[in-house]
Amino acid sequence: MIIIPARLNSSRFENKILVDILGLPMVIKTAKQVSDLDEVVIATDSQEVIKLAQEHGFKAVLTSSEHQSGTDRINEAANILNLAEDDIIINVQADEPFIETSVIEKVINRVNSVKENKEDIMIVSCYKSISSELADDPNHVKVILDEHSNAIYFSRAKIPYHRDHYENSSYNGHLGIYGFTKKSLNNFCKLSTSKLEKIEKLEQLRALDNGKNIAMVKVESKSFGIDTEQDLRNALKIFVN
């Protein structure tokens, strides 16, 4: 199941999930983008979004307005829906209206592998190579990997620091797509919010702070999360002919 956390209020871009994207509200455009892969449910704190989802034929679940992260929100939705512990849940952010289905498929496949092989992995996510220039933007989160393609750290800062200043250095840009089993999702949400999570405002650091593993898969993608009005303008230039 794909669950889209859809909090209405956004500090950087007010009501961004309702902004028009090619004739559809952003959250609905995102839902339609991935609807061929699996059942899609929208988890929201807004009756307005519930009504909007239903008008476009999507199931929606009303969740608490107190959640501090999208993952906490989808966990509440998964519990309301009474999903089985081994069900696979993919968290697709509501601000990814141009996400490619191939990206989601890679995450789903890796979660299946973790599940089948009983690997010690709490979360599966993904990354792509980005330029040094793009890595300068704190809205584009960077991830450092170990030799097994597990995450070591995520940051809004430009990491790693290339001491020798190689020309054309590339960085690993994190995409905010997360894969869980229902059990691992519940376990993640039982963890207390961590210090680094609060500092960077990156919920995935909660897992790393608690010694849990996040497996990363490399993908090819032009998509990016729309956090600001400038992001929206840039996305429309790229994806709208």
Q: Which residues contact 232 (CB under 8 A, 6 or more apart)?
A: 13, 16, 19, 226
Beta bridge mates, 3? 41, 91
The yes-or-no verdict on residue 10 having pLDDT over 70 is: no
pLDDT confidence of residue 145: 97
Q: How many domains does the chain have?
A: 1
pLDDT confidence of residue 121: 98
List strand residue ranges (DSSP E) for 27-146, in order: 40-44, 59-62, 88-92, 123-131, 142-145
Query: What distance in Å separates the CA atoms of residue 101 and residue 96, rounded to the nearest whole number?
Result: 11
CATH label of the domain that carries residue 144:
3.90.550.10
With CA atoms as reference, report the closest residue to 87 among 41, 134, 142, 129: 41
With CA atoms as reference, report the closest residue to 204 among 226, 222, 180, 181: 180
With CA atoms as reference, report the closest residue to 45 among 3, 7, 92, 78: 7
Q: How confident is the model at residue 228 (pLDDT cuts 50, 70, 90)?
A: confident
Query: What distance in Å separates the CA atoms of residue 137 and residue 129, rounded to the nearest whole number?
Result: 14
Q: What is the pLDDT of residues 175-204, one digit of tens each?
A: 999 999 999 999 999 999 899 999 999 999
Q: What is the pLDDT of residues 73-104, one digit of tens each?
A: 999 999 999 999 999 999 999 999 999 999 99
The yes-or-no verdict on residue 209 having pLDDT over 80 is: yes
The structure's pTM equals 0.91
Instruction: Cis check for the bond before 160: say yes or no (omega within 30 of 0).
Output: yes
Assign residue 173 a region (left: φ > 0; alpha: ψ between -120 and 50; beta: otherwise): beta
Angle subtended at Cα 197 by Cα 194 and Cα 203, rounded to the nearest 5 degrees: 110
Q: What is the pLDDT of residues 132-169, one digit of tens each?
A: 888 998 988 999 999 999 999 999 999 998 877 666 67
Least confident residue range of 71-80, 106-115, 198-207, 227-236: 227-236
Residue 124 is part of which domain span?
2-239
The yes-or-no verdict on residue 11 having pLDDT over 80 is: no
pLDDT confidence of residue 198: 93
